């Protein structure tokens, strides 16, 4: 990282950390100084905000550690035969309780071949993309996760589709940059640091995969957004190639 981009990174991170910390301090101070004047309902409301802001800090620190790891030579990939369905089901089980009003529609044929990927990193990719689909879609909508053979020979394509606000074509590249968020009502409502897609793109490419996005209007104020990731099929040749690199 150059000095300028390092300084920009530190200044953005400091700002991102300061916002939740200021809020945690503010609500804690109010509770300490006005404890006797506050009724139970307000005490609970303030504690809920403190909890939410702490969660935001934890997510931010975890994402920043993931960004630092991307640049570290020690962060090696462990390529293994990986079953797509197993990973997608694990991720959805983890997300269902957090987004109970969402419907997750999985369309993965049992005949789909396994891919060659780092299992933990592949799970992180699916978690980031499926959680984004849940966060940036309208209430009570369906999130579709499908897998099929890609047009690219020897690759599997995974599509994650949701119904939300259109991502304009001008922003297709920007959303994969560090700390970038698109300002709209759904983004304002959801918490996030704008690091998820940056981390995702980096690890997808380290696994010899590709990632792209396409957003199409289906109504005046609704759009279908699809994120596509492609990974190499696990066969004897791909396995041998990765062994050679290690």
Ligand X SMILES: Nc1ncnc2c1ncn2[C@@H]1O[C@H](COP(=O)(O)OP(=O)(O)OP(=O)(O)O)[C@@H](O)[C@H]1O
Residues in contact with ligand X by CB under 6 A are 59, 63, 128, 132-133, 136, 162, 164, 167, 175, 180-182, 187, 192-198, 225
Give the residue with the Cβ less far from Mg ion, 82 or 132.
Answer: 132
CB of 233 to Mg ion, least distance (A): 27
Give the residue with the Cβ less far from Mg ion, 150 or 202.
Answer: 202
Helix (H, G, I), strand (E, B) or coil at 150: coil
Exposed/middle/buried for 17, CB within 10 Å: 0-12, 13-18, 19+? middle
228 beta partners: 159, 212
Q: Are 232 and 154 in contact (CB under 8 A)?
A: yes
CB of 133 to ligand X, least distance (A): 5
Task: Of 88, 69, 118, give the one whose Cα is nearest residue 231.
Answer: 118
Binding partner of residue 181 among Mg ion, ligand X, none, CB cut-off 5 to 8 Å per kind: ligand X
Give the residue with the Cβ less far from ligand X, 207 or 234.
Answer: 207
Give the residue with the Cβ less far from ligand X, 80 or 222.
Answer: 222
- Distance spanning both ends of the chain, measured CA to CA: 25
CB of 151 to Mg ion, least distance (A): 27
Give the residue with the Cβ less far from Mg ion, 125 or 234.
Answer: 125
- In the bound complex, which residue of the shown chain has the CB atom lying closest to Mg ion? 196
Give the residue with the Cβ less far from ligand X, 7 or 177.
Answer: 177
Q: Are 160 and 130 in contact (CB under 8 A)?
A: yes
CB of 191 to Mg ion, least distance (A): 9
Task: Of 197, 198, 46, give the one whose Cα is nearest residue 54.
Answer: 46
Distance (Å, rounded) from C-alpha 156 to C-alpha 33?
59
Question: How many angstroms from the chain centroid is the CA of residue 151?
Answer: 25
Binding partner of residue 232 among Mg ion, ligand X, none, CB cut-off 5 to 8 Å per kind: none
**Close Cβ partners of 242 (under 8 Å, ≥ 6 residues apart):** 79, 116
CB of 16 to Mg ion, least distance (A): 14
The two three-digit tokens of residue 7, written as one number: 């300084």
Binding partner of residue 167 among Mg ion, ligand X, none, CB cut-off 5 to 8 Å per kind: ligand X
The residue ranges that bind Mg ion (CB under 5 A) are 132, 192, 196
Binding partner of residue 164 among Mg ion, ligand X, none, CB cut-off 5 to 8 Å per kind: ligand X
């Amino acid at each position: 990282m150059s000095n300028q981009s390092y300084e920009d990174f530190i200044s953005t991170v400091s700002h991102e950390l300061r916002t939740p910390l200021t809020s945690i301090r503010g609500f804690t101070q109010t509770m300490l100084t006005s404890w006797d004047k506050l009724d139970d309902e307000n005490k609970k409301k303030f504690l809920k905000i403190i909890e939410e802001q702490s969660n935001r800090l934890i997510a931010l620190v975890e994402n920043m550690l993931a960004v630092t790891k991307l640049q570290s030579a020690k962060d090696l990939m462990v390529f293994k035969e990986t079953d797509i369905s197993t990973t997608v089901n694990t991720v959805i089980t983890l997300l269902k309780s957090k987004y109970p009003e969402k419907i997750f529609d999985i369309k993965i044929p049992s005949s789909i071949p396994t891919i060659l990927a780092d299992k933990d990193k592949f799970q992180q990719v699916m978690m980031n993309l499926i959680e984004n689909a849940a966060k940036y879609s309208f209430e009570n909508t369906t999130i579709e996760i499908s897998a099929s053979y890609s047009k690219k020979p020897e690759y599997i394509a995974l599509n994650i589709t949701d119904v939300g606000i259109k991502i304009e074509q001008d922003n297709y590249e920007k959303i994969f940059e560090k700390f970038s968020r698109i300002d709209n009502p759904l983004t304002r409502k959801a918490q996030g640091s704008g690091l998820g897609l940056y981390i995702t793109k980096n690890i997808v490419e380290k696994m010899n995969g590709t990632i792209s996005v396409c957003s199409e209007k289906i109504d005046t104020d609704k759009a279908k957004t699809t994120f596509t990731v492609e990974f190499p099929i696990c066969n004897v040749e791909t396995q041998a190639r990765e062994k050679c690199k290690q």
